[in-house]
Amino acid sequence: MKKTREILVTNDDGFRAKGIHVLAGMLREYGNVTVVAPYEPQSGRSVSLTLDKPLMIERPLVEEATETLGSLRVYTLSGTPADCAKLGINIFLHENRLPDLLVSGINHGSNASAASIYSGTLGATVEGTLYDIPSIGFSINTHDENPDFEGVLFYGRQILDNVLRDGLRKNVYLNVNFPAIPKDQIRGIRMARQGAGRWVREFDHRVTLRGKHYFWMVGEFEDEEAVGAPDADHHVVDSGYISIVPHRIDTTDYEEMERLQKLWHFDS
């Protein structure tokens, strides 16, 4: 008898976000779906974990499998995306198995370029990759609460089919960013590299009526890429393509390690 595929889903926008509902619905075509999502939005949390207070979990929804769709169970957690991925994996471990796939998203907002460093969406995929679970982060380049997900659904299935057929290398996860344009305007899918850039003038300094100083994070993105750099992920998306960046857990710069070993001589 063919084994039913088990899929773990999370996000950083919280369980109420439309993106995660769209994603879970699509993934039920591929197997049984377990959602563990933050109760509140957790954007920018990267791989942070909650270590100073207990995590509260609720199980508000269970749907049985149908002839065409896998089952669905949904948990909400008072933690970060990495907490959600970790707890979801442990739910499976208590069942003496691991998920066959982890997918995080669909994030409302780009996670291209430097955003990938801060992303809670990708923080969850890092956690899955640590357990050797093929892991993917999906994001769409808009903060609209109700964007057009048709392009994500159409091309997302193509990406999932390829990952499930060919797998991913150990310690590698995928960062997939979709342009926020109609499906028939998307030009295709491109492999890309993480773009270079940073945010500047990030804080708006304000003063309360009682003279207390505070800051709101705002900021402007400063693009460090040459205009039109064809393989930088944020330029790929701006050009109307879907970008796929394979990221590695091991962030060691081996070339620099070798260079410094030749230059620096420490007393043993």
Residue 162 falls within a domain, yes or no? yes
Contacts of 74 (CB under 8 A, 6+ apart): 15, 24, 35, 37, 59, 60, 61, 62
Q: Which domain holds residue 150?
A: 6-196+228-263
Nearest Cα neighbor of 112 from 218, 243, 241, 202 is 243
Name the pLDDT band for 1 (thresholds 50, 70, 90): very low
The CATH number of the domain where 259 resides is what? 3.40.1210.10
Cα distances (angstroms) measured from residue 90 to each of 5, 28, 98, 204: 17, 21, 8, 41
Residue showing tokens 């995590």: 55
Using CA atoms, how far apart are residues 191 and 159, in angstroms rounded to an integer? 11
Average pLDDT, rounded, for the chain: 94
pLDDT digits (tens, 9 = 90+) for 51-81: 999 999 997 789 999 999 999 999 999 999 9
**Confidence category of residue 223, pLDDT binned at 50, 70, 90:** confident
pLDDT value at 238 more than 50: yes
Look at residue 13 and tell me if it is in a domain.
yes
Q: Compute the distance between CA of residue 81 and CA of residue 11 in angstroms, rounded to an integer.
A: 6
Mean pLDDT of 74-91: 97
Residue with tokens 């903060």: 143
Residue 222 lies in a domain: no
Are residues 95 and 216 in contact, defined by beta-carbon separation less than 8 angstroms? no
Domain count, the chain: 1
- Does residue 210 sit within a domain? no
> What 3-state class would DSSP assign to 247?
strand
* Whole-number pLDDT of residue 227: 65
In three-state secondary structure terms, 75 is: strand
**Tens digits of residue pLDDT in 255-264:** 999 999 999 9
Q: Is residue 214 part of a domain?
A: no
234: pLDDT strictly greater than 80: yes
Report pTM.
0.94
| Position 258 in a domain | yes
Which residues, in sequence order, are bridge partners of residue 173? 247
Location of structure tokens 């780009």: 110
Measure the CA–CA gap between 37 and 21, rounded to whole angstroms.
11
pLDDT at 3 over 70: yes
